[in-house]
Homo-oligomer: A and B are copies of this chain.
Amino acid sequence: MIYLDNAATSYPKPDRVYDEMLLCMKEYCANPGRSGHELAIKTGRAVYETREIVSRFFNIENPMRVVFTKNATEALNLAINGVLKEGEHVITTSMEHNSVLRPLKTLERNNIIELTIVWGNYFGEIDVADIERSIKKNTKMIICSLSSNVNGIIMPVKEIGKITRERGILFLVDASQGAGSIKLDVQEINADLFAVPGHKDLLGPQGVGALYVNENVEITPIMQGGTGSRSESFYQPEIFPDMLESGTLNAPGIVGLGFGIKFIESFGVDNIRIYKHMLIKRLYEGIENLNGIKLYSLKDMDKNSGIISFNFIGVDSTKVSFMLDRIYGIASRSGLHCAPLAHETIGTKATGTVRLSVGCFNTIEEIDTTIEALREISQGL
């Protein structure tokens, strides 16, 4: 099996991630932040250590502003539904995932917010001037992904962050695609809110994500429950991160995320980026001239987080993915990738695309085998 579906979930993980999760579960996994006994304290400490690792990795000053969620979708829902109020205006882009679009469109349908979607060009490139022109008096938040999960295009988050800081608008970055293989500093990009999944390029397991909330953000929880703190109160304590972390945390998952990030740190984010770029470039050059192929990702590797989206003209994307899987044992993802407007932007709403996404454990040999497979498929069509 050649796994080229890393944009959905990275696979495999570093061995240490498995080992430390198992160690946590077997040796000390009590309830973090609840009881005062040795195991609970050890679990609580392990959770806090991951807060520190996440903070160090993204240059977040205060680890207590890192909130653990079940995935990036919960983090984004919290950032959107916990912050936006009636009558506020939001700007986002056509390249966003349904985890951003669906909460926003639901708020718009319920007459809570006003929504402007700025469209990208054929490759999904956003003109920052379009975003700036869309700002109104009541613009509360601009939301942009770090890179598209459909074609890998890297978005101008640094430029948008400058505008939001100047204009006093909140900036929510959906870093689901790219966090872990693109160097990121929340202070440098001026992110007020910053959502990541654990299970993609951060090399952690499924079942954990995180939201960073800057001190200037007023946010209310979307869930209430036990926090192990101020238990006598009928309402959520207003302290971070408890306010936004009701119920028992996924301690082994959080530990796994921490060791995923530690692996990246030991290897170097830039080295991972360079390695992934080398793989993607090789893949791109190996398939760009195939018979009938149309590529929707950019060749410029500084603008691509590690994804190639393509179609063979006139052939259903699902069919190609199916052939890759069944004949060649190559895992890809076809269809709309939960991002309908991104496909509309790049002109593939009706067909979807075949998406190949590399991870740091893919090899040159796997890329070459994939190129050969696609060459054979293109010849047979």
Contact = CB atoms under 8 A, between A and B. Distances in A.
A105 B38 CA distance: 33
Contact of A9 (B105, B208, B248): B248
Contact of A226 (B13, B26, B98, B227): B98
A106 B225 CA distance: 10
Given A3-B30, A35-B321, A207-B249, 5 more contacts: A1-B38, A35-B332, A97-B226, A205-B250, A228-B338
A252 interface: yes
Nearest to A12: B26
B105 A253 contact: no
B205 A252 contact: yes
A8 interface: yes
A207 B109 contact: no
A207 B25 CA distance: 12
A335 B9 contact: no
Contact of A39 (B11, B36, B74, B106): B11
Nearest to A4: B37
Which secondary structure dominates where chain A touches chain B?
loop
Shortest 10 CB-CB contacts between residues of A and residues of B: A73-B247, A207-B250, A226-B338, A102-B224, A70-B70, A99-B225, A73-B225, A8-B31, A37-B331, A105-B234
Nearest to A236: B102
A52 interface: no
Nearest to A245: B73
Contacts of A247: 70-74, 99, 197, 209
Contacts of A233: 340
Interface in A2-46: 3, 5, 8-9, 11-13, 18, 21-22, 25-26, 29-31, 34-40
A171 to B, nearest CB: 20
A11 B70 CA distance: 22
A202 interface: no
A339 B231 contact: yes
A336 interface: yes
A227 B81 CA distance: 18
A349 interface: yes
Nearest to A102: B224
A123 interface: no
Interface centre among A26, A70, A251, A340 (most CB of B within 10 A): A70
A31 B231 CA distance: 37
B325 A36 contact: yes
B250 A37 contact: no
Nearest to A27: B12
A206 interface: yes
A218 interface: no
Contacts of A71: 247-248, 250
Contacts of A26: 12, 18
Interface in A250-266: 250-253
A231 B8 contact: no
B331 A40 contact: yes
A222 interface: yes
Contacts of A197: 247-248
B248 A73 contact: yes
Given A325-B36, A331-B38, A29 B11 contact: yes
Contacts of A207: 70, 207-208, 249-253
Interface centre among A39, A253, A321, A338 (most CB of B within 10 A): A338
